[in-house]
Amino acid sequence: MDASIKNSPCNTLLKAMLCVTTLLTGSLASTMAQAVDVDAGDYTALPDGTNLGLLYYQYATRDSIYADGHKVADNATLDSNIGIARGVHYMDIGGYIVDPQFLLPFGQLKAKDDISALGDASGVGDLILAATVWLVNQPKTDTYFGITPFLYVPIGSYDKDDALNIGENRWKLALQAGYITGLTDKVSIDLVGDVTFFGKNDEYTAAKATLKQDAVVQLQGFLRYKLKPTWDLRTGFSYSFGGETEVDGTDSDDKIETAKFTVGTAWFALPTLQLIANYGRDVSVENGFREENRLNLRVLMVF
């Protein structure tokens, strides 16, 4: 046995399941990750008075567990079906465009095969409140820069006796910055970075342990190519790191270091209706489940 696995707290399948449960407690909510995923184009500022209604569907399947970068189980399946309802309003405050918004996740998680003992979970996730402030807003050159705080309010479905939960039973605060610029008439680039801070969960598992977690940093980049003014192709890459957890003062040795890619397309079927479809998967995982397949669908209405 590799020494790094042998000395890991996840050196057996059972211990791996416990480590993964630590990672997953409530974390598979809106973005199915412990950072703030975005879609390419999200940092485009819209005019004062614009309203958006969005509905997301996210399906992901995971079929292997990693500890310290090594696969420790390859018949451990966790599927998720998650929806998100989102409302956004753009307004002018002192010459700056600001978009107060909310996101409410809901859906189901289901463990299968060797980890079927983890069961399943369904319900509503934690409410997310956010507002981007655009410090750069130059539509003529397709250049934007905004900063967004996200506050996660722990109202979601949570039961300390369950291994999987949709809600997290803890507050979270994320701070994100996003930049968009046009490289040519047809090609644009999106660069996004964020850091997420976690409050404690003092009812973690049936033992009512206290779960704490270090901050998670995520870096995202996207390229978009316009086939038509209303239709683009897009690809993206994301890298997340940090986030080691501590349970009742004991380090879990489960830091996050995950890289993933996406490819997709966005189409304005009508001037007020946009459809987005993205496919992605994890490229590498240090600790936790590896996403084998992810499908994200989004419907956006402008009114």
Q: The domain that contains 216 carries what CATH number?
A: 2.40.128.130
Q: How far apart are CA 289 and CA 58, in angstroms?
A: 16
Q: How far apart are CA 24 and CA 211, in angstroms?
A: 12
The whole-number pLDDT of residue 34 equals 65
Q: How far apart are CA 135 and CA 112, in angstroms?
A: 46
The whole-number pLDDT of residue 80 equals 95
208 and 71 in contact (C-beta within 8 Å)?
Answer: no
Task: For 130, list phi and psi in degrees, rounded to 5.
Answer: -150, 165
Phi-psi region of 70 (alpha: psi -120 to 50; beta: other; left: phi over 0): beta
- Domain of residue 253 covers 3-302
C-alpha distance from residue 188 to each of 182, 200, 258 (Å)? 4, 39, 25
Q: How far apart are CA 105 and CA 292, in angstroms?
A: 22
Q: How far apart are CA 80 and CA 98, in angstroms?
A: 32
The string of DSSP letters for 90-106 reads: -EEETTEEEEEEEEEEE
How many domains does one find in the chain?
Answer: 1
Q: How far apart are CA 194 and CA 151, in angstroms?
A: 13
Residue 236 three-state SS: strand
- Closest listed residue to residue 68, CA positions, set 303, 250, 284, 293: 284
For residue 49, give every residue at least 6 positions away whose Cβ sits within 8 Å of its Cβ, in sequence order, or none: 90, 91
Task: For 21, list phi and psi in degrees, rounded to 5.
Answer: -60, -40
Mean pLDDT in consecutive groups of 10 residues from the start of the chain, 303 residues: 39 48 39 73 98 98 90 88 98 98 97 91 96 97 97 96 93 98 97 97 94 96 97 98 94 93 98 98 93 97 97
The whole-number pLDDT of residue 155 equals 97
The whole-number pLDDT of residue 25 equals 40
DSSP summary character for residue 185: S
Strand order in the sheet with 250-251: 201-204, 209-213, 245-247, 250-251
Q: How far apart are CA 97 and CA 106, in angstroms?
A: 29
For residue 120, give every residue at least 6 positions away whose Cβ sits within 8 Å of its Cβ, in sequence order, or none: 108, 109, 110, 111, 164
Element (H, E) at 23: helix 13-24
Q: How many residues does the chain have?
A: 303
Q: Beta strands 273-285 and 288-302: pairing type? A: antiparallel
